[in-house]
Amino acid sequence: MKTAKQCKLLILLLCSLITVNQAAAHGLSMTSAEIALRHDKHISLTIRTSLSDLFARMLWPEKPASLLHLASGDNKTLTLFRQQLNHLFTAKMPVYSGKISLDSQRARLPGIQQLRKMLQKEIAGKVLKNHKGKHEHGEQDRQNYLVAYIDGFLLAGDRADNPRELQVQFPTELGDILVSYVEPKVQTLTKGKQHTFYRQLLY
């Protein structure tokens, strides 16, 4: 027979497992932003976000009534949606180094036909989930997430007036965001006669 202390420990363990599972599920559904600084001046961001969640949060005058209306609309409708996405990832998402904004900020997005296929796949996935009675996000959902690439350059300036602090104002349409930052070490390797060697200290 379990003691009161053992029962308490069992309850705490079950609660922690539930919390971990909830966090993992939430992490799967979150928007992710991967930020990389290359050559000390080139900033690139990779945004991955749910198309259906993003569409639901976005507002513009000619917005279709539903995701189905958007997917079945003509190229003009999808072109307008793509323009709204471009506006979201540039004008509504300023990137700064100190007080200086990113130079030549641009967004690379899927083309019109690729967007249409992604929307159709998203709708088909929702129909299948509703049939099975499952509504939570999973790893399969992320495979159909919208991927946007944003890049630009940090302008040179007086470090005293322009501190090396990167700031990104993510628009609320992206929801909760899981952000990661890296500074890749890039080397140009000279081709050898027999081998080309790469060496990197690991910490």
For the stretch 110-148, pLDDT in tens is 999 999 999 999 888 877 766 555 555 555 557 789 999
- Reported pTM: 0.75
Q: Per the domain annotation, does 12 fall within a domain?
A: no
- pLDDT, mean of residues 47-70: 94
Q: Per the domain annotation, does 202 fall within a domain?
A: no
- Give, as one character, the DSSP assignment of residue 151: E
Confidence grade of residue 199 (pLDDT, cut at 50, 70, 90)? confident
Dihedrals phi, psi of 5, to nearest 5 degrees: -65, -40
- pLDDT, mean of residues 180-191: 87
Query: In the chain, pLDDT over 70 holds for what percent of residues?
Result: 75
Q: Per the domain annotation, does 10 fall within a domain?
A: no
Q: Per the domain annotation, does 199 fall within a domain?
A: no
pLDDT at position 162, please?
A: 56
Q: Per the domain annotation, does 187 fall within a domain?
A: no
Q: Per the domain annotation, does 146 fall within a domain?
A: yes
What is the total count of domains within the chain? 1
- pLDDT, mean of residues 13-27: 42
Sheet containing strand 166-168, strands side by side? 100-101, 95-97, 166-168
Size of the chain in residues: 203
| Closest listed residue to residue 78, CA positions, set 105, 100, 109 | 109
Look up the domain containing 76 and give its range: 26-182
d(CA 10, CA 7): 5
Angle in degrees, CA 83, 34, 110, rounded to 5? 30
d(CA 174, CA 93): 10
Confidence grade of residue 13 (pLDDT, cut at 50, 70, 90)? very low
pLDDT over threshold 90, residue 201: no
Are 144 and 118 in contact, with CB atoms under 8 Å apart? yes
Q: Per the domain annotation, does 17 fall within a domain?
A: no
Q: Per the domain annotation, does 66 fall within a domain?
A: yes
